Amino acid sequence: MTSPQTDAWPVRALDPADTASLAGWAQVGRTGFMAAAPAPQEADARLRELAERVAGQRLSGVLDGGRWVAAYRSFDTELTLPGSGPVPVDAISSVAVLPTHRRRGLLRRMIGEDLRRAREQGHALAALIAAEAPIYGRFGFGPATRAATLVVDAGACRFREDAPRAQGSLELVEAAGAWPELAAVHDASRRARAGGLQREELWWRERTRPGGERAWGPRTHVVVHRDAAGVADGYAAYEVEERWEGRVSRCAARVLDLHASSPGVHRALWEFVLSVDWVRTVHAAERPVDEVLPLLLHDPRAVQHGPVDDLLWLRVLDVPGALAARRYLGRGTLVLRVLDPGGPAAGSVRLHVDPADDGDDGDDGGDRGGWACAEVTASAGEPDVVLGAAELGALLLGDASAVALAAAGRVHGAPAAVRHLQQLLAVPQAPWCPTWF
């Protein structure tokens, strides 16, 4: 079973409709991710859910003696880049190798084949969520978004008089029936901010299907905010936990998902969740690192910041394609040399954002809010900045600091050039990806 001849273990594609094979393939993931096997009476339902989830996606893995020992999945989705609309990305997930077969190059082989295929098929970017931070830098991935955990003392929250307000109303809804409204709100939200990922219809069905493996729990409530015309323009899904010490409430709420189309709606949703009777503490994970809530309060320390962790990792497969796909608030010209030994990102490009471009659409008088397109061309010139593919992935959405990476010895160039790169890539809102995949 554990022959060291890894050449005898080619990466094989798996047909997602082949449920017999799928069951063995899924077991690799459960072992890798330390997940419990489903109870026997639930096994068929879980397999059906998985088959539905991965239908049309790319599944692969490695067989040893007829048993799946490595698993890998990728699929096409959309990622919002700064200032521009969503672009296609190769999303990678369900990566696992059995402990009996680890560190023999199986991950390297699976990801190598997938990234080659993605590049050949025209993808400029690949994305994943890293289980452990040291794994994926070697494959050219860098952490491109971070997410904050908040712990809020509900009783200490008093909103400032100047905090924005929205016209409209709030309604508690049944998620199973209301998810299309939530999906529409989320879709607008993820397009409006860099880092946003598409959520397929199935994502919503899985969250809102009672008893499903990925469903929000039975103590979850969903509140929808509607504008004056009754159209949903924000929602919060939150879970409550009842806990008392004697007759004193220690009840907590956990915000699972909160999206708003405007600052006023954002305030209304937070104010609602923070004012639910009995709730003393509100936890929220995967919030943007520049979450506005503390700034709305008389006492911003009512919001304690828990861990801030990386979430979405990006791998640039096509440097000119990726740099030209986003927009820029900075202006000027830099030659970048990307180091990517044996990889598709290696080479030098000239990144030019016209200083005369004021971000106005001209023809139709539209205002692009100062965002300008870049011309990105291959360059034989002396580079201003030299950086690795993983560092470019970390910088692309504007989250990482070129200056900090230079201080760490991971981005090289004259201080003025590094500062210029940071100004070119700067974004007005921290990129945010609240969608696990």
Ligand X SMILES: CC(C)(COP(=O)(O)OP(=O)(O)OC[C@H]1O[C@@H](n2cnc3c(N)ncnc32)[C@H](O)[C@@H]1OP(=O)(O)O)[C@@H](O)C(=O)NCCC(=O)NCCS
Would you please indicate which residues are annotated as catalytic (active-site) residues?
136, 437
> Binding residue for ligand X (CB under 6 A) from 12, 30, 46, 102?
102
85: buried, middle or exposed (CB in 10 Å: 19+, 13-18, 0-12)?
A: exposed
Radius of gyration of the chain (CA): 23
Q: What token pair was written down for 78?
A: 């959309």
**Cα–Cα distance between 220 and 310 in angstroms, integer?**
26
Q: How many residues bind ligand X, per CB under 6 A?
A: 18
Which of helix, strand or coil describes residue 425? helix
Minimum Å gap between C-beta 308 and ligand X is 19
Smallest distance, ligand X to C-beta of residue 410, A: 17
Query: Could you tell me if 14 and 60 are in contact, meaning their C-beta atoms sit under 8 angstroms apart?
Result: yes
Shortest spacing between CB 71 and ligand X, in angstroms: 8
List 58, 104, 287, 337, residue binding ligand X (CB under 6 A): 104
What's the CA gap between 398 and 172, in Å, rounded? 36
Q: Taking Cα atoms as reference points, which of 62, 55, 63, 60 lies closest to residue 16?
A: 55
Contact stretch for ligand X (CB under 6 A) within 132-140, 285-293, 301-309, 327-335: 132-140
CA dihedral 285, 287, 289, 295 (to 10 degrees): -110
416 contacts: CB under 8 Å, gap ≥ 6: none
**Which positions from 25 to 54 touch ligand X by CB under 6 A, shown as an x/- string?**
-------xx---------------------
By the 10 Å C-beta count (0-12 exposed, 13-18 middle, 19+ buried), 102 is classed as middle
Given the complex with ligand X, which of 103 and 247 has the nearer CB atom?
103
Tell me if 289 contacts ligand X by CB under 6 A. no
The distance from CA 24 to its chain's CA centroid, rounded to whole angstroms, is: 28
> Applying CB under 6 A, does 390 fall inside the site for ligand X?
no
The nearest distance, CB 140 to ligand X, in angstroms, is 12
Per CB under 6 A, the segment of 13-21, 93-101, 229-237, 368-376 that binds ligand X is 93-101
What is the smallest separation between the CB atom of 105 and ligand X, expressed in angstroms?
5
Single residue of 91, 106, 148, 338 touching ligand X by CB under 6 A: 106
Nearer of residues 105 and 263 to ligand X, judged by Cβ: 105
134: contact with ligand X by CB under 6 A: yes
DSSP conformation letters of 39-72:
PGGGHHHHHHHHHHHHTTSEEEEEEETTEEEEEE
| Angle of helix 43-54 versus helix 201-208 axis, rounded to 10 | 160
Taking CB under 6 A as the rule, does residue 105 contact ligand X? Answer: yes
> Does 103 help bind ligand X (rule: CB under 6 A)?
yes
User: Looking at 26, 107, 154, 163, which residue binds ligand X (CB under 6 A)?
Assistant: 107
Which one of 73-81, 90-98, 226-234, 424-432 is the stretch in contact with ligand X (CB under 6 A)?
Answer: 90-98
Shortest gap between Cβ of 135 and ligand X (angstroms)? Answer: 4
> Which of residues 7, 40, 65, 132 is near ligand X by CB under 6 A?
132
Binding segment for ligand X (CB under 6 A), chosen from 80-88, 100-108, 146-154, 195-203, is: 100-108
Nearer Cβ to ligand X (134/362) = 134
Cα dihedral angle (97, 100, 102, 106), rounded to 10 degrees?
-60
**Between 94 and 208, CB nearer to ligand X:** 94
Name residue, tokens 């993931």: 29
The region of 124-132, 168-176, 354-362, 398-406 touching ligand X under the rule CB under 6 A is 124-132
Q: What is the DSSP letter of 216?
A: P
Binding status of residue 418 toward ligand X by CB under 6 A:
no
If one asks whether residue 315 binds ligand X (CB under 6 A), the answer comes out as no
Contact 163/296 with Cβ under 8 angstroms? yes
Is the Cβ–Cβ distance between 382 and 428 less than 8 Å? no
135 near ligand X, judged by CB under 6 A: yes
Stretch that binds ligand X, among 105-113, 173-181, 245-253, 396-404 (CB under 6 A): 105-113
Q: Is 214 exposed, middle or buried (0-12, 13-18, 19+ CB in 10 A)?
A: middle
Binding mask 343-382 for ligand X (x = CB under 6 A): ----------------------------------------
Q: Does 138 bind ligand X (CB under 6 A)?
A: yes
CA distances from 310 to 19, 62, 232, 233, 289 (A): 34, 29, 30, 28, 10
Applying CB under 6 A, the residues found at the interface with ligand X are: 32-33, 95-97, 102-108, 130-132, 134-135, 138
